[in-house]
Structure 1
Amino acid sequence: MAGLTLVLSAAVLLGWAVGSVTLTQLVPGLPAMVPLTASALMLTAGAELALGGRRAAARRMGVLMALTVALWSVLLLGTYVGDSPRWDALFQALGGRTSPQSASLLLLLGLALALRDARSRWGARAFQGMALGALVLSFSVLVAYSFQEPRFYWFAGRGGVGIALHTDVSLLLLSLGALLLRPEQGVVGAFLHAGAGGIMARRLLPALLVPLVGGVAAHQMLRHTRMEPHLVWSLLEVAQAAVLTWVVWRAATRLNALHAEQLRAEERTREDARAQRRLAEENARLYAEAEASSRAREDVLAIVSHDLKNPLSTVRMGTGLLTRRLDTLAGGAALQRQVDAIDRAAAHMQDLITRLLDAARMDAGHLLMLDRRSEAVEPLAQEALAMVEPQARDKGVRLERRLSQGLRASCDRPRILQVLANLLGNAVKFTPPGGTVTVSTTQDAGTVRVSVRDTGPGIPKAHQARLFQRHWQASDTAHQGSGLGLYIACGIVTAHGGRLWVDSDEGAGTTFTFTLPESPPDHPPLDTLEGEV
């Protein structure tokens, strides 16, 4: 809108330069747009364009231009106070005097644009009020032109001074553009709102033109025809009623469609709520069943622990007694091998039961119980190496030690022995004859880092993310264990507040590393096993 005003004002200035009455006056006998008014309109349009931008410097320039327009308008209005021939001669030399109507509207627009960025409530309301006032006044002059009422657009105190038609149209466009600079507020905000009220306002907006168009049509009919006035006004009322009925029907149809869509949306929302409620009830039922299953499993495991461990302890006591007696019997060596096999089988079953109980506790979301003490790490690693040394010797795997001296960690010794024994046992198991298994310990920022590296075939990347899952085993190693060792080892390390991870490349060996705190943590670890893995 400001751009259109710039073009129109420039055309008027061009008309004055070439002496074109068509550009400056439009219609003979009506007021002309004088050069001063055209210049003020161009300055106002420039201010509006600058204030519509995002650059702070441009907006400050827009405010300065708007204040210049306001001050210029005040000076122009001041020339109408008193009667000075000098003013008449000066304005005659400049092409004419700006009318009081034009100066007043420019003053309102200049002040409104200067308050465009006002943050206070008062400033925002003043901006809206002055811009809306300029819009209403310019629209009133346009209506007067439509009815050919000269008292609105001519100034009675000065002959030949008035507001031109294209001046009024430009001011109307600038007023509307000023209101659109803050579309979220005031009347414009109500019309542009996305809600039902904004939709209704936009639908009913054409109804504002019905009285104006009808009045102009009736006025022209009375002037240029011999129709009776009562007939003209009767036809006008009928036409206005028909048009208004159509406008209202159109708005009502749209609002009814929106209401129907709202009802459908509310029904969908209720259906979603019912589905969510059913889902919550189903989840609650499944949770209760899972809790019951978990309790039943724990009960079964408790029974297994009691009913199997005790007989196995009796079996191992018996194998120990037989071992002592066979030492004194002739030919007892052959029987001793059988007794040793029975003892190993019973020990394996006891270890498996312990693992199952640990796994059940971890599945229930509980950290394993620990008896923490400050332990020297080197003897701990040496003891674990001694446990797997016979297995490594039988297979031809070399054990290497890279243990730092003097390291201590806060840990449960039997539990960490269990972790080390598991990692070392797996390393020996998967390292080919002639390979090497290396245990190393280092200190790292308040923790002790323990690593077990082998020279085996390595672990594929696709399998590494599942190593610490319960019962998971690669298809080619499924026969070599229960799949609980790494799962429980990770749970033990997590309970200590540490972390267990793996680094491996196919064909380049595997390294398992875990950390232990040097001192007991201030608070128990809150991370779940799944989060740690």
Structure 2
Amino acid sequence: MWTAMRELLRGRFARRLALAFAALGIGTAALTAVLVNTAFTDRFQDYLAEQQQTSQQQLVSLFADAYSREDGWNPRALDQLAPTVTMTGSEVELEGSSGQRVWSLADADVTPATLAMHRQMMGTGDLGEPRSLPVSVDGQRVGTLEVRVPQGVIPAVDKDFQASVNRLLAGGALAAAVVALIVGVYTARRATAPIAELTQAAEDLAAGRRDRRATTVPNNEIGQLATAFNTMADRVEKEDELRRAFAADVAHELRTPLAVQRSELEAVQDGVREPTNKVIASLHDENLRLTRLVADLETLASADAAAFTLEREPLSLTALVTDTVTGLAGSFTAADIELRTELAEVRVDADPVRLRQIVTNQLTNALKFVPAGGAVTVSLRAEDGWAVLRVADTGPGIPAADLPRIFDRFFRSRSARADGSGIGLAVAAELATAHGGTLTADSQVGHGATFTTRIPILPSPSA
């Protein structure tokens, strides 16, 4: 137990947490001791005040009885009260109803030293503050008694009781500190163990262990952090896999045209083939293929910064889509694919070059997957403040497993053909996001696919 405690307390956070619990226990016990002692002191003060008040009332009653017996103030009768007053250790002086001095202990030859001796013998403490108390008989004031009674002392049994309570409180404070320290250590271990494990997992992930995950996931905020970390690690691992696959695809894409160009050039160098127009055209086509691939890679790399480089202007999205469709109509005709349009007039505030790229990428994507005899329908309309562009095809559709990932930067479906870079949809999605819009896809295998682009519409002047 203590070995585990020492190991735990090496951590700064765990040490602070455990010591905080211990301090809380000690502070609670100390506060309880203060409150109890304050209550005891107040109670004892009230007790002593009651004692003084009782002694004062007894003396007043003693002198009132003497007045009643003698039907007035009789010095001889008052002298007979001196022993009783002396036994109390009190100092008294009697004044008449008119304020004249009537009697005091000095008249009975009782000195202050005698009173002090009696107070010491009785253990009644020092004299309290002087009080002027009225002496009344049958409801009529017959005099005033100037009196100072002993303050009284706390009985020994009460002092012992208070001391025993203080000892119990001290022992309770020590026990509370030990219990609080144990609870603090236990709580600190439970609180810091997931954090330590999560920290180690992050270090392992940074060191290259992409399969590292946080295994301790408590049901609290730390558990939420661990879940977020695991989600991030899954995404990092998936992106690493996609990057490797993408690198392999790009290498394959580059290898084919380069191999063709090399073989053609070596054949010309060796005299096997003549540098005819056909050979030069073939080399030129392969070079264009490489150029397109490099251009797609550059576009993808700059797509993140599109929001900062967009050259927006009010424009007719209808006219832009019409021009783009017209420019690609020949390719669709050559592939025996019918290209239809259903375009309403819609205006947007956007970058025409980037918008054209979004439309082109979707149409060329459809051109690659729709078989001969199929059809592609391009529709445009305004819906609830959005310009909605839909490109629907009658192709084979997208497998359900691939549909959530077709816009991932480095994802390429296994069913994709080998004549493209496989990043056109990722570029289109990034550019749509840069315009404050979205690009989504719906598809069922065997029933084609529909790509929907939403761009904020340009409000009309009247609005």
Q: Calculate the TM-score normalised by the size of structure 2.
A: 0.44
Q: Calculate the TM-score normalised by the size of structure 1.
A: 0.39
More strand by percentage: 2
More helix by percentage: 1
Larger radius of gyration: 2
